[in-house]
Structure 1
Amino acid sequence: MLDVPVWLWVAFALTVVVSLAVDLLAHRTAHVIGFKEAAAWSAGWIGLALVFGAVVFLVLGTTAGTEYTTAWLLEKSLSVDNLFVFAVIFSYFKVPRAYQHRVLFLGVFGALVFRALFLAAGVAVVNRFTVVLYLFAAVLFYSTYKLLRGEEESFDPGNSFAVRMLRKVIPVRDEYAGTKFFVKEAGKRVATPLLAVVVAVEAADLIFAVDSVPAVLAVSDDVFIVYTSNAFAILGLRALYFMLAGLLDRFHYLGVGLAVILAFIGVKLVLQASHKMISTDIPEIPSPVSLAVIVVVLAASIALSMLRPAPSRPSEPAAPPRDDRPSDRSGDRSDDPPSTP
């Protein structure tokens, strides 16, 4: 385990808190976020993550800095799947575009809390029971199989367990009420669809943690490295979504690239566990090699997607509207959500 000075933990916590406060103040008024604004914010989040990585290099050494960079880039690439699910959720609940940032902000805040719990538990288990690394590798190999076969599980926002439980705890009305999560009707407090959307986003993040946590633990088993890299990758999700919304389907080879990365990380886990449990003669994959593989595979999948565009698919007839989906009756056409990528 790394000997992380207390001031570095404090600096990380202050960076996250100040960043979230600045983001919230900058978007305190609900509005539609365009490409230029999203690109500027995305560049800012990436720059912040890289600056923190440079501090890790200087304070904790080259190995720690390489592990942080590798883990951050890995989580950043895996988070692309989250963007597809965000689009599905927003389309299902017909979330006005002006309200989407508020939803994602709360989703990111919840993800920071849940990832802290999952990663702390994961590090504790791995450090005590090395054999669990084989189980984590099996999870990653299965995810690889689903990606290559196109059998990745679909996410039904309205039928998710979390949303169904919410509806049992409190009534959820059909219409939005601005950015409010609760309103009073006939003297009773009821939830707006916006609360159901936040719950669906949090539930989706829990699902993605099944792949994310084992993958990052293959890079490092230090709590500081795995959590800070996750946090900075999560912080940039909102801007990345608004920047790439409507363009995600163009990167059609990215799924294959993610499958290759997950398979590689699975192999790294197997070798890591075998090195500790069977024989020290079994080599482990160094962090610089892992970083190089992730960069090359991501670059190749994006380049292939641009050089060989996906064949256009015949348009399908629009599905009839579902009665159980919420609606926004404000009449403002500019708030209509974008089509699902």
Structure 2
Amino acid sequence: MWSLFAAFVLVALLVDFFAMSKQGAHRVSTREAATWSIVWVGVSFVFMGWLWWYLGGAGEDEAARTLANAKSLEFLTGYLIEKALAVDNIFVFLMLFTYFAVPAEFQKRVLMIGILGALVLRAVMILVGAWLIAQFHWILYVFGAFLLFTGIKMWWAAGQEPDLDNNPALKWIRSRFRIAPDYDGERFFTVVGGVKMATPLLVVILLIGIVDIVFAVDSIPAIFAITTDPFIVLTSNVFAILGLRAMYFLLANMHERFHLLSYGLAIVLVFIGAKMLLIDIYKIPVVFSLGFTAVTLAVTMILSLKIPPKGTPGGAYPFGAKKQDEQT
């Protein structure tokens, strides 16, 4: 199972890279993004069906059918949670692209590099996390408390505009690199006035890498609340991430419509944190976790469409430059 999964991921990435190199830099249309989003979701459900069949879901052995049903449900729940948390990633990516005025035709490559980094990072963190849980059961309580804190923090931060000008990571990057004022195609470095400088594209990729680390720290404990099976944890994470690039281009123009989604994600994180803290007292069924997550996200998305946002955020400018002329 591990070998087949690894082979599938490598093939999927090669196909994605080949398609990207063949198309070159171009603006991804909503239709193209929707098509790839459907493909990735479909592939994820095909994998879940294969997993169910491989574990004996269609056989006559009752124990095998029970195991197949349980593992498939764990995968589906984990996939839904990770996919929902990935939406928050998308909104942060959108903020970075807007702040640095990244041309639409360059965004695809940046996201692909970010996704590769996220896959490697999460694989390492999941394997380490699984080992820690196997060795130290009390780590689950640490994860649960962390998720409770993260959910409450996300609730209070929802609707607030992040201040990138004062972001420590951006300040650190600016102190280490000379940053060119303009883009130079898809290059990461350029020469301006005889001086080698980093392009804004490199800065964006570095910041996305930092975002990947932050979100991995949040999302990985969340999936361990559903299952401690490393295979299910890793596969649900990977399948959620593989479709992230297509989902970004699909939702990039609709982020304001789902302005209440962060509140729903906060509620889900608090619920999962509580589930993890209660694991030795009462084990909340996976099917209930799946239903609670789906209903919470659906309700917040519907309310987002019904209730208009309080205000429209102002424009953002590369490197924090202020607008000089309102008419311009």
TM-score (normalised: structure 1): 0.82
> Within 5 Å, which residues of 2 pair with 1:144-163?
144-150=151-157, 157=164, 160-163=167-170
**Which residue does the alignment assign to 1:95?**
102
How far the C-alpha of 1:35 sits from its partner, in A, is: 0.8
> Within 5 Å, which residues of 2 pair with 1:124-143?
124-143=131-150
**Which residue does the alignment assign to 2:287?**
288
Q: Take 1:324 and 1:301, find their aligned partners in 2: how far apart are those partners?
A: 32
Cα gap change, 1:159 to 1:236, in 2 (>3 Å): farther
Cα gap change, 1:223 to 1:188, in 2 (>3 Å): farther
Cα gap change, 1:223 to 1:161, in 2 (>3 Å): farther
3-state DSSP of counterpart to 1:219: coil
> Within 5 Å, which residues of 2 pair with 1:124-203?
124-150=131-157, 157=164, 160-167=167-174, 169-184=176-191, 189-203=196-210
Between stretches 9-18 and 104-113, larger displacement belongs to 9-18
How far the C-alpha of 1:33 sits from its partner, in A, is: 0.7
Q: Take 1:168 and 1:290, find their aligned partners in 2: how far apart are those partners?
A: 45
> Within 5 Å, which residues of 2 pair with 1:1-341?
8-28=1-21, 29-60=24-55, 61-150=68-157, 157=164, 160-167=167-174, 169-184=176-191, 189-272=196-279, 275=280, 282-306=281-305, 308-311=306-309, 313=311, 321=317
Q: Take 1:27 and 1:157, find their aligned partners in 2: how far apart are those partners?
A: 30
Cα gap change, 1:67 to 1:210, in 2 (>3 Å): same
1:264-294 deviations in whole A, cap 9, x for unaligned? Answer: 111210121xx2xxxxxx3211222211221
Structure 2 unaligned runs (5+)?
Answer: 56-67, 322-328
Q: Take 1:283 and 1:294, find their aligned partners in 2: how far apart are those partners?
A: 19
Cα gap change, 1:115 to 1:155, in 2 (>3 Å): farther
How far the C-alpha of 1:142 sits from its partner, in A, is: 1.4
1:276-331 deviations in whole A, cap 9, x for unaligned? Answer: xxxxxx3211222211221222222222323x231563x67757x56666xxxxxx
3-state DSSP of counterpart to 2:197: strand
Give 1:287's aligned amino acid. Answer: V
Q: Are the counterparts in 1 of residues 159 and 259 from structure 2 also a CA contact under 8 Å? A: no
Q: Are the counterparts in 2 of residues 157 and 200 from structure 1 also a CA contact under 8 Å? A: no
1:234-283 deviations in whole A, cap 9, x for unaligned? Answer: 111111111011211212332222122112111210121xx2xxxxxx32
What is the identity percentage for the equivalent residue pairs of Structure 1 and Structure 2?
A: 41
Q: Take 2:100 and 2:164, find their aligned partners in 1: how far apart are those partners?
A: 8
Q: Take 2:246 and 2:164, find their aligned partners in 1: how far apart are those partners?
A: 22
Q: Are the counterparts in 1 of residues 99 and 318 from structure 2 also a CA contact under 8 Å? A: no
Q: Take 1:317 and 1:153, find their aligned partners in 2: how far apart are those partners?
A: 12
Q: Take 2:303 and 2:158, find their aligned partners in 1: how far apart are those partners?
A: 22
Q: Are the counterparts in 1 of residues 85 and 265 from structure 2 also a CA contact under 8 Å? A: yes
Q: Take 1:216 and 1:316, find their aligned partners in 2: how far apart are those partners?
A: 32
3-state DSSP of counterpart to 1:179: coil
Q: Are the counterparts in 2 of residues 85 and 155 from structure 1 also a CA contact under 8 Å? A: no
How far the C-alpha of 1:182 sits from its partner, in A, is: 2.5
Q: Take 1:192 and 1:99, find their aligned partners in 2: how far apart are those partners?
A: 12
Q: Are the counterparts in 1 of residues 164 and 170 from structure 2 also a CA contact under 8 Å? A: yes
Structure 1 unaligned runs (5+)?
Answer: 1-7, 276-281, 326-341
User: What's the Cα RMSD here?
Assistant: 2.4
Cα gap change, 1:72 to 1:27, in 2 (>3 Å): same
Give 1:238's aligned amino acid. Answer: R
Cα gap change, 1:288 to 1:322, in 2 (>3 Å): closer
How far the C-alpha of 1:172 sits from its partner, in A, is: 2.9
TM-score (normalised: structure 2): 0.85
**Which residue does the alignment assign to 1:3?**
none
Aligned length: 307
Give 1:283's aligned amino acid. Answer: Y
How far the C-alpha of 1:178 sits from its partner, in A, is: 0.7
